[in-house]
Structure 1
Amino acid sequence: MDSKDSDGESLANSALTTLVSGPLRGYDLLVVTDDHSHRQLDVDRVVAAAGASITPVVVASQISILDTAHPAHYTKSTHLTAILIFYDDPTGFLLRLEDNYHWNPKHLVLLCLNPQLNTTAVLSQPVVQRSQFILLLRSAFRGDQRSLLAYTSLPTQLNSLGHPLIQGPLGRWSPQEFPSRESLFPPRYRDFGGWVLHLSVWCNDEPLVYFLEDGSCTGQNVDALRIIADKYNFQFSLVHGTKDGKWGSYEDEKLVGMLGEVQRLEKDMIINSMLLTHNTLRLLDYTYPHTIDTYGFMIRIPPPMPRWRNILYPFSRLLWGLVFLTMVLVSTILASLHYQLYGIRDPLGLALKVAGGIAVQAMSVRGVRAWWAKVLLCFWWVVVLILTAGYTSNLVAVLTVPVYPNLLETVYDLAKDDIRVAMLDYGSTVPTYLRTTFNPTLAALGAKLDMGPITDPFNLYGEITKQVVAGTHALIVFGDYIDYLRQLHNVTQITYVMKESIIWSYLSWFLPLHTPYTPQLSDTLTRLNEMGILEKLYRMHMGVILSPNLQVRGDGVLNLEHLQGAFIMLVLGLSAASLTFLLEVLISPRPRPASPSPSRPSHPQEY
């Protein structure tokens, strides 16, 4: 064996021993070697020499790594460090490893034992650039001495020739220079160096992304991304629309729309309202959810009930029945007892007077002789006073404001009703969920769900809103976008939002799979959310796109129709008084004509 190779092996063994017993002590390790380095290094002996205090170490060959599917939660774990040791060119192995979607260690160490190998080409491999933190230890000669040089990869920075700094020097390897794990892995994307991220975006996603009058895009997420861009020194471009004209969904075993553009690396990020689904979790990177919301229903307000029935609306049917029954019982019992005990000549008249007290709220008690009956009437008059006051006030209210049938406020009510359900076909998983769920109520909604195609990207909900206005469909819309939609189509006075909603869903930003700076952007976005900045941006942009009188119904001006209650009450009162007077005339006994008194003879002296 050449003395230089022997020195290289000794240096590599020393460095590996220092790593596993020093900065990486206490972390899970996955050590992968090629055949040449496996013969040069005794990895098992190095691990054993590090002591029993380190956590488990997995030692594997390149072939076994390709044949074994390590779960993503293991390889991407913060507690794991992957160490690739190689002497021969690993490009072939790395290209094959690129097909393994689960391989994406957060911390990656590359230990190159061959000083002649082009390590810049190794670092340039996409599967290597997946890792958020990278350390390269490369064997090199300084004269006759062999040493290890430390590098990282900073693709957003430029070298002296204006090229990306794929291999950025960290200095000469020594335990004193790299005492901790943090010193081994400096942040790679602390400064993006003015990079431009190209966004796949639809600028009609209020309030997250929407058009200004000058044609530019703004919104809550645009402002949030601008804050992050200022922090990390990058720029971004917004181009409205996608090549296939689709929003984003999973169709025919592939992603389309914005999701497809990002997956194919045509664009770098999505900041529109895009939901976390099984397919997006599997095929894309995503930030921690910044919004949790539900799907609501926009429904046409039914026409008001007939005006002529207003006199019955203040009381329910049960209350009307109880009032009538009580009135009949009280008047009948009181009149019957007086007829039996005191022999009054007009029991029917007394009964009508007692019953009529509920209308006139006053009556004469001259026909009531017993003290107990007068006490009973006192309690009856109190009840009458309460009933008439409640009826009068409620009647004025229902005459002033139109009375509507019971609105659909629960998913169960909507499922039982004849109205159908509509949703825009933009790739949501809600239709699939409603049609496959075992919940009978949600399944009933799925059975009558109609999907509306996107016919006009600049007026997404135009056709479906017409169906809602016609009263044939209830529209499913995500989050607070439903409020903007009602105002946009000027239907705030004729539609309402159902109280109950369905399916909690999460909104995230999406990036290409295995983007190394995804965790960094995700952490910053989460900080903005936790500090309330996203909420402030949301309220600000909602104030821009929504008018202050969004929920106002009517023009706020009183007219004759609103004041008809008092006049109707007057007519009802006069009608009731006339009817009572007529009944009194018909049933009251007529007085007998008085007999003429005999004439007294005139006294003759008076003449």
Structure 2
Amino acid sequence: MSGWKIELLRIVLLVGVTAGRIQSLASPFLKESFQLSSSDVLLEELITGPLRGRDIFLFVDEYTRFSMPTLPSDANTILMATHKGFNVGHYPNYCLRGSSYIAILLFSRTPSELFHHLSLSAAWNPTFLLLINMNATQSSMTILDHEVVQRSKHLVLLQPFNKGTINTFLVLTSFPFRARPHAAMSLWHKTYFRSDADLFLDRHPNMEGATLRLGSWCDDYPFIYLRHPSDDQCVGANLDTLTLIAAKLNFSYEVQKETQDQNWGALENGRWTGMLGDLVYNNKHLVINLFLVNYERWRDFDTTYPYHAEGFGFLAPLPPPVPQWKSITYPFTGIMWLAVIACTLIVSLLSALLPAVMEKDSVDYVRHILMVYGGILRQAVQLRGVEWLAAWWLSCIIITTAYTTNLVAFLTVPVYPTRMETVAELAQSHLRYSTMSTAHNITLAVSDRTVCVPEIH
């Protein structure tokens, strides 16, 4: 096929786009019986052309004759899956959403079953989506309008095109905010699409005057809040920012004063509540309130870059001071008390038994024991005959001096029970945790105990 013929058809198609006659232009050719058998050639041109160096997630239905084309030596990762029985839970999120992988759906029949499965999961949202229809007898224009397909920021459909000696594909995309959203870009030729930027156009250069419905709650100062409690007008920093963006991208918006279920937005029993539930179930387009991005929200929703850091604090009632009479035990720790008592008993026994063994005469056991306890009580005694107790007395002076000093401090300043200093101690305690209903849910996961912080209203 000569280059000038392709260029001429490309110009004609673009004129058809401008005039809004895409469907009428393509239909006569799509109705002709045409069995295309060059999927491997097309994929090879894509992989070695505009998709060179990109990771690809390829979906193939069971009705398409397909063989993996020869890959270049510098080709990146290519994952393959079939439409039938595909399960999003078997793949990590970065393969299903974002720009890490370019998703390619190769099909000969409308992939209704696959689309239904993908519609049930918020995980499916690839930035780049390429649809390739291999059945020339079936027009797949309406696929571009499917909700699952429209999730992708960049979208391209390759539709078989056969006219005379021309055997190629019609390259289409969708501009969702236009009155006539379907648009033909060109006929496929590898010289026209040398990079992914040539293939994947910006589908949202502006929003054509569309109206976005906000899933908002005007109780989030200073981001979005009521100007006055008796006023229905919502203001705030996020609304000011959105107004500037709306002027740039040509759209308007409607503000929701509060959520229907009076919840902020959390995943409860597998279902989203609050503003996030409005996004999923109540036909809202955008949420501009402040949210803590946890794993569930990151998995199911697209967010902007973080622009605000918010801290959390745990408050517990101050315990009452320990009764003052208990202060007599606080100068020493429990181990120190045990050591003092044990040493006193041992020295008392030695003081009573050693004289009996050495003198072998009658010994006043009570007197020797009282001499030991006299050291603890700092009472004067005669050490004649038991000079070895001088070491004990010296120890008693040190211990009792330390005790007296600490006792004065504890009697002067009230003593409180040991307080929690870490989140781990809080999680292991038996305190009941709770937050306000407008706050974020918090889960404490420490060691083998996981506690979900409940809400109070």
Question: Is 1:21 matched up with 2:52?
Answer: no
| Structure possessing the higher relative contact order (Cα contacts under 8 Å, 6 or more residues apart) | 1
Secondary structure (helix, strand or coil) at the match of 1:30 reads: strand
Question: Is 1:286 matched up with 2:313?
Answer: no
Selected match of 1:224 from 241, 262, 268: 241
Structure 1's 85 and 298: CA in aligned 2 closer, same or farther, altered over 3 A? closer
Distance in 2 separating the partners of 1:216 and 1:111: 48
CA contact (8 A) 2:86 2:114 kept: no
Give me the CA root mean square deviation. Answer: 3.7
Residue number in structure 1 paired with 2:440 = 428
CA contact (8 A) 1:249 1:426 kept: no
- How many residue pairs end up in the alignment? 321
Residue number in structure 2 paired with 1:348 = none
Selected match of 2:211 from 176, 179, 196: 196
Tell me how far 1:222 sits from its aligned partner.
0.8
Distance in 2 separating the partners of 1:68 and 1:437: 27
Q: How does 1:151-550 map to 2 (within 5 A)?
A: 151-159=172-180, 165=181, 167-213=182-228, 215-296=232-313, 412=421, 423-426=435-438, 428-430=440-442, 432-433=443-444, 437=446, 452-453=456-457
Distance in 2 separating the partners of 1:56 and 1:239: 44
Letter in 1 for 2:62: D
Selected match of 2:74 from 53, 61, 82: 53
Structure 1's 127 and 429: CA in aligned 2 closer, same or farther, altered over 3 A? same
Residue number in structure 2 paired with 1:31 = 58
CA contact (8 A) 1:91 1:122 kept: no
Distance in 2 separating the partners of 1:25 and 1:219: 45
Structure 1's 423 and 9: CA in aligned 2 closer, same or farther, altered over 3 A? closer
> CA offsets per residue over residues 80-135 of structure 1, 9 Å max, x none?
22221222222233223433544332211111122332312222222222222111
Secondary structure (helix, strand or coil) at the match of 2:302 reads: strand
- Any gaps of 5 or more consecutive residues in structure 2? 1-31, 318-413
Q: How does 1:561-580 map to 2 (within 5 A)?
A: none
Question: Is 1:99 matched up with 2:120?
Answer: yes
Structure 1's 87 and 240: CA in aligned 2 closer, same or farther, altered over 3 A? same
Please identify which structure carries the higher helix content: 1
Distance in 2 separating the partners of 1:234 and 1:82: 29
Letter in 2 for 1:429: N
Residue number in structure 2 paired with 1:75 = 96
TM-score (normalizing by structure 2): 0.61
Question: Is 1:9 matched up with 2:37?
Answer: yes
Tell me how far 1:61 sits from its aligned partner.
2.7
Letter in 1 for 2:136: P
> CA offsets per residue over residues 189-238 of structure 1, 9 Å max, x none?
22111121111222122111122255311111111122222222221111
CA contact (8 A) 1:72 1:104 kept: no
Tell me how far 1:4 sits from its aligned partner.
7.0
CA contact (8 A) 1:27 1:55 kept: yes
Secondary structure (helix, strand or coil) at the match of 1:200 reads: coil
Distance in 2 separating the partners of 1:24 and 1:420: 55
Instruction: Decide which structure has the larger Cα Rg and report it.
Output: 1
Letter in 2 for 1:133: H
Distance in 2 separating the partners of 1:121 and 1:26: 31
Letter in 2 for 1:293: E
CA contact (8 A) 1:4 1:146 kept: no
Selected match of 1:133 from 141, 154, 164: 154
Secondary structure (helix, strand or coil) at the match of 1:155 reads: coil
TM-score (normalizing by structure 1): 0.47
Structure 1's 294 and 170: CA in aligned 2 closer, same or farther, altered over 3 A? same
Structure 1's 56 and 421: CA in aligned 2 closer, same or farther, altered over 3 A? closer
Letter in 1 for 2:141: T
CA contact (8 A) 2:33 2:137 kept: no
Q: How does 1:112-127 map to 2 (within 5 A)?
A: 112-127=133-148
Secondary structure (helix, strand or coil) at the match of 1:201 reads: coil
Letter in 1 for 2:149: V
Residue number in structure 2 paired with 1:548 = none
Secondary structure (helix, strand or coil) at the match of 2:311 reads: strand
Tell me how far 1:285 sits from its aligned partner.
3.0
Secondary structure (helix, strand or coil) at the match of 1:158 reads: coil
Letter in 2 for 1:234: F
Identity level (%): 27
Letter in 2 for 1:179: R
> CA offsets per residue over residues 415-472 of structure 1, 9 Å max, x none?
99xx999742235223x43xx54699xx9xx99x99641xxxxxxxxxxxxxxxxxxx
Distance in 2 separating the partners of 1:285 and 1:16: 30
Residue number in structure 1 paired with 2:332 = none
Structure 1's 72 and 210: CA in aligned 2 closer, same or farther, altered over 3 A? same
CA contact (8 A) 2:261 2:274 kept: yes
CA contact (8 A) 1:28 1:56 kept: yes
- Any gaps of 5 or more consecutive residues in structure 1? 160-164, 301-404, 454-607
